[in-house]
Chain A
């Protein structure tokens, strides 16, 4: 078991290493570099040389990669080009903001998804299922930039209940941020919840049709006891991985939603730094997003492993 965990963590690091190389090589291959972008039309002769020296771009690429990677491991991603600020400082509040947004969506979305999924499965083909399923399928099909725009139109512009876009500075306190994040959270949570509720529904239905549930009924186990003891533990286990995938997918959703709402998070930073050709920042963001992705999936695998008696004992025996 321990060996397996270590192996998975090592694999995670290898994945990150590969991602870092791909992003580094990617930024190298692109025509132009930080200095040509920065100096624009003055990018020639003495000035360019000086810039290269200042930014350390005159040494071979692999040396730059090694020194960048060594610093990155310690959390130092170098300087952002546009603001000439340490990237670490740029990232800090952005990560916090995105984390607030994503975790709010997750903590609201997952319980609702579970409840909806279970209700629709247990009352399969009855009124509650038909009603909820219609809504979830509808929610699934609308991309978040449309639902976000609609939310702004209805809630912010017509009803004027909440601010439509976020115009607070990056480093405000949580309480000041709160009214601003409600709409983005709803936009993200809606599609995610709908996806998860569908997954949970089909998983519960599958288990309800299994022979062991029929056996439990024939054993005389009362309905709700059967649901909680025999159905849900087995139905929700595969759902853990689905949730992990959904959260990973959320990273993409966050980028789009943040841009629509002008929300000062990681997602908007990605778009900004790409359009500014701020390559060091792009590199740093790629690594950070990849590590989030890897660690969420790792967490889900470990959780499944711990909860599934079948996998657990299998590993111990081997």
Chain B
């Protein structure tokens, strides 16, 4: 019998609502963590996965309380322990690696001190030895020049470096169990792949048990031996990671895996209806009942128990799992998207440069921008009516900056933005006439912030209708309801406030608002990144449907290459504000020709334990683009010589119409691809 490091028994955690009812966040959780294994806990926001991880350290957030059950570590219940005793376990026996290291490192303390603090608390080392140990730890997490890093403050490091520091800090106490709460969410794809690789290495190297909490099945697939799937505070599926990802026998996991876009498949995945119920709203029956394709009458009134299946070594909470056991692989139904773009050009960016540099007084007086090395430079893109073009790149690649300039929210330094072949759009919002404003609409990343919390859905959608078309009374109301129906929301949503809607519903309202202006072009800025995976597919499908109905053109910005693959006709890859590659998405994904595209695609995490990310380049963060030569020279693994440092690479065209900016000849580029 393998030794258990942590036993969770019948754990329930909840809070008391204003009406005095007890509302459960975690419902009767029982699970064990074995010594040396890595367990992935996966679930959408609100499924209780973080609460469970924190409980494993004996920590319950302000406002919540333990209703029953225990978390046993070395046969003592952490949830009943005195804080004096907990201090000796936290950081020493069980350590946490937080989600957002940038927020979790104390801003006024140097990196070295924060690691030293853990060493002081959890080891008997002398000062000299501790200093050595700090360097060792920083080395282990592969941070360059540990001595200087130790003297820096958290804000002086990049996101990836901060996350590494958090790992080093957790390792300082040589814990037996590491809890990781979404440790790579919020990092760039390339950085994320590197951090995961590091965690895998540490798990092997130190034999530490790990609990990896994430909403991202792609990340979970790379690290875990066993997976626990959570849904509204319950474990719905638990088993060996390969089986769960390849043959999920719970309808929720099954649907979830189907709704994730994959790099290898173009087109939109099937979406799962509805969203996870709010805590305290389930009346009885299975919590997944109303979103389930396999449910029957029994599921409505009785809630299933977690059942252990010996031959599959899996626990499942479903009456009808047998229907799924017989289904082999997750077969993904893909709605192929039709490229409906016409030859007519709708938007043309030529030689666009944008600068964030603070302007000198003289330049301010004459209202001009001077900057030799602007953030975004030489952008030439020709967008056809009805197509979806995606801008991809890591954070800092200038993709959102370009969107802002198209929308007129950010002045360009040079270049022209031309609409419909002959109309020049000023990059200054104040110089655009109302019709110029109407034709381009924006959908933002976070609907919580882009919808006015004091307006009802009706008022939100009425704004553009009144502003651009002067609609009033009955006609206005009719238009609003029409739009709501188009985004699959019923009439009764009109009187609701944004806070009464779920994340997916809010984003639908934002979509309806954008379409209310009857725009020609819609700019989508990371529109699905704030949404849960199961909701993401639904919003993508909706956007595609609306586009086909209205013939709208989308400019789609995203860091998620699989989402981009699913929805776009054409892709433009950006690095440091310079274009690297522009081409039809099939070609960009099939022959990743530019070295940077190759890096990006290699780092994508797929929810499949057999597909491992390929780490081609270092994840260095460059603060500004190089003065001359190729923008990617600093990280490129295929530099051909001095020419890369000195000359801007020429555009080369492949047979399929893919334009690549690189000094390496096309033929050679394709030869060396994976």
Interface, chain A (partner B; CB < 8 A): 209-223, 229-230, 233-234, 237, 308-310, 313
A223's nearest neighbour on chain B, judged by CB, is B83
Q: Counting CB contacts under 8 A, is B87 at the interface? A: yes
Whether A219 and B62, one on each chain, are in contact in the complex, defined by CB atoms closer than 8 angstroms, is no
Q: Counting CB contacts under 8 A, is B125 at the interface? A: no
Number of residue pairs A-B, CB distance < 8 angstroms: 77
Q: Counting CB contacts under 8 A, is B109 at the interface? A: yes
Interfacial residues of chain B within 156-197, with CB under 8 A of chain A in the complex:
156, 169, 173
Whether B87 and A220, one on each chain, are in contact in the complex, defined by CB atoms closer than 8 angstroms, is yes
Q: Which one of B21-29, B90-98, B371-379 is at the interface? A: B90-98
Question: Other than the known A213-B106, A218-B96, what 4 A-B pairs have Cβ atoms closer than 8 Å?
Answer: A215-B96, A221-B87, A229-B106, A309-B155
A309's nearest neighbour on chain B, judged by CB, is B153
A229 to chain B, nearest CB (A): 7
The digit string for B45-87, where 1 denotes a CB below 8 A from any CB of A, is 0000000001001010010000000000000000000010011
B166 to chain A, nearest CB (A): 8
A234's nearest neighbour on chain B, judged by CB, is B108
B472 to chain A, nearest CB (A): 45
Whether A209 and B103, one on each chain, are in contact in the complex, defined by CB atoms closer than 8 angstroms, is no
Given A309-B153, A310-B153, A218 contacting B90 (CB threshold 8 A): yes
Whether A220 and B104, one on each chain, are in contact in the complex, defined by CB atoms closer than 8 angstroms, is no
Whether B104 and A211, one on each chain, are in contact in the complex, defined by CB atoms closer than 8 angstroms, is yes
Whether B90 and A217, one on each chain, are in contact in the complex, defined by CB atoms closer than 8 angstroms, is yes
Whether A309 and B118, one on each chain, are in contact in the complex, defined by CB atoms closer than 8 angstroms, is no
Whether A229 and B109, one on each chain, are in contact in the complex, defined by CB atoms closer than 8 angstroms, is yes
> Can you give 19 A-B contacts (C-beta < 8 A)?
A209-B62, A210-B103, A212-B105, A212-B107, A215-B96, A217-B59, A218-B90, A218-B98, A219-B121, A219-B169, A220-B87, A220-B173, A221-B121, A234-B107, A309-B153, A309-B155, A310-B153, A313-B153, A313-B156
| Centre residue among B92, B104, B105 by max chain A CB count within 10 A | B104
The 7 closest A-B pairs by CB, nearest first: A220-B91, A220-B90, A211-B103, A215-B104, A219-B91, A218-B96, A212-B106
- How far is B86's CA from A223's CA once the two chains are assembled, in angstroms? 11
Q: Could you say which of A215, A223, A313 contacts B105, with CB atoms under 8 Å apart?
A: A215
Whether B89 and A233, one on each chain, are in contact in the complex, defined by CB atoms closer than 8 angstroms, is no
Interface, chain B (partner A; CB < 8 A): 54, 57, 59, 62, 83, 86-92, 95-96, 98, 100, 103-109, 117-118, 121-122, 153, 155-156, 169, 173
- How far is B106's CA from A309's CA once the two chains are assembled, in angstroms? 11
Whether A218 and B91, one on each chain, are in contact in the complex, defined by CB atoms closer than 8 angstroms, is yes
Given A211-B103, A218-B91, A310 contacting B155 (CB threshold 8 A): yes
- How far is B60's CA from A218's CA once the two chains are assembled, in angstroms? 11
A218's nearest neighbour on chain B, judged by CB, is B96
- How far is B54's CA from A234's CA once the two chains are assembled, in angstroms? 24
A210's nearest neighbour on chain B, judged by CB, is B103
Whether A222 and B91, one on each chain, are in contact in the complex, defined by CB atoms closer than 8 angstroms, is no
CB contacts (< 8 Å) of B57 on chain A: these are: 218
A-side interface mostly = helix
Q: Could you say which of A215, A220, A230 contacts B98, with CB atoms under 8 Å apart?
A: A215
B115 to chain A, nearest CB (A): 10
- How far is B92's CA from A222's CA once the two chains are assembled, in angstroms? 13
Whether B90 and A212, one on each chain, are in contact in the complex, defined by CB atoms closer than 8 angstroms, is no
CB contacts (< 8 Å) of A313 on chain B: these are: 153, 155-156
Whether B153 and A212, one on each chain, are in contact in the complex, defined by CB atoms closer than 8 angstroms, is no
Whether B96 and A220, one on each chain, are in contact in the complex, defined by CB atoms closer than 8 angstroms, is no
CB contacts (< 8 Å) of B118 on chain A: these are: 219-220
Whether A212 and B103, one on each chain, are in contact in the complex, defined by CB atoms closer than 8 angstroms, is yes
CB contacts (< 8 Å) of B88 on chain A: these are: 220
A318's nearest neighbour on chain B, judged by CB, is B358
Whether A218 and B59, one on each chain, are in contact in the complex, defined by CB atoms closer than 8 angstroms, is yes
- How far is B325's CA from A150's CA once the two chains are assembled, in angstroms? 82
B57's nearest neighbour on chain A, judged by CB, is A218
Whether B106 and A230, one on each chain, are in contact in the complex, defined by CB atoms closer than 8 angstroms, is yes
B159 to chain A, nearest CB (A): 14
A124's nearest neighbour on chain B, judged by CB, is B62
- How far is B105's CA from A221's CA once the two chains are assembled, in angstroms? 13
- How far is B106's CA from A234's CA once the two chains are assembled, in angstroms? 8
Q: Could you say which of A213, A221, A308 contacts B117, with CB atoms under 8 Å apart?
A: A221
CB contacts (< 8 Å) of A234 on chain B: these are: 106-108
Given A212-B106, A212-B107, A220 contacting B121 (CB threshold 8 A): yes
CB contacts (< 8 Å) of B156 on chain A: these are: 313
- How far is B170's CA from A220's CA once the two chains are assembled, in angstroms? 11
CB contacts (< 8 Å) of A310 on chain B: these are: 107, 153, 155
A1 to chain B, nearest CB (A): 16
B21 to chain A, nearest CB (A): 21
- How far is B83's CA from A212's CA once the two chains are assembled, in angstroms? 18
A210 to chain B, nearest CB (A): 7
Whether B106 and A216, one on each chain, are in contact in the complex, defined by CB atoms closer than 8 angstroms, is yes
CB contacts (< 8 Å) of B100 on chain A: these are: 211
- How far is B83's CA from A219's CA once the two chains are assembled, in angstroms? 12
Whether B122 and A212, one on each chain, are in contact in the complex, defined by CB atoms closer than 8 angstroms, is no
CB contacts (< 8 Å) of A216 on chain B: these are: 106
B102's nearest neighbour on chain A, judged by CB, is A211
CB contacts (< 8 Å) of B121 on chain A: these are: 219-221
B623 to chain A, nearest CB (A): 10
B373 to chain A, nearest CB (A): 16
CB contacts (< 8 Å) of A222 on chain B: these are: 87
A217 to chain B, nearest CB (A): 7
Whether B92 and A220, one on each chain, are in contact in the complex, defined by CB atoms closer than 8 angstroms, is yes
Whether A220 and B122, one on each chain, are in contact in the complex, defined by CB atoms closer than 8 angstroms, is yes
- How far is B92's CA from A3's CA once the two chains are assembled, in angstroms? 46
CB contacts (< 8 Å) of A230 on chain B: these are: 106, 109
CB contacts (< 8 Å) of A223 on chain B: these are: 83
B88's nearest neighbour on chain A, judged by CB, is A220
A258 to chain B, nearest CB (A): 40
- How far is B117's CA from A309's CA once the two chains are assembled, in angstroms? 19
CB contacts (< 8 Å) of B103 on chain A: these are: 210-212
B58's nearest neighbour on chain A, judged by CB, is A218
CB contacts (< 8 Å) of A219 on chain B: these are: 90-91, 95-96, 117-118, 121, 169
| Centre residue among A214, A222, A233, A234 by max chain B CB count within 10 A | A214
Whether B87 and A309, one on each chain, are in contact in the complex, defined by CB atoms closer than 8 angstroms, is no
B83's nearest neighbour on chain A, judged by CB, is A223
CB contacts (< 8 Å) of A213 on chain B: these are: 106
B133 to chain A, nearest CB (A): 16
- How far is B65's CA from A299's CA once the two chains are assembled, in angstroms? 46
| Centre residue among B89, B103, B117, B169 by max chain A CB count within 10 A | B117
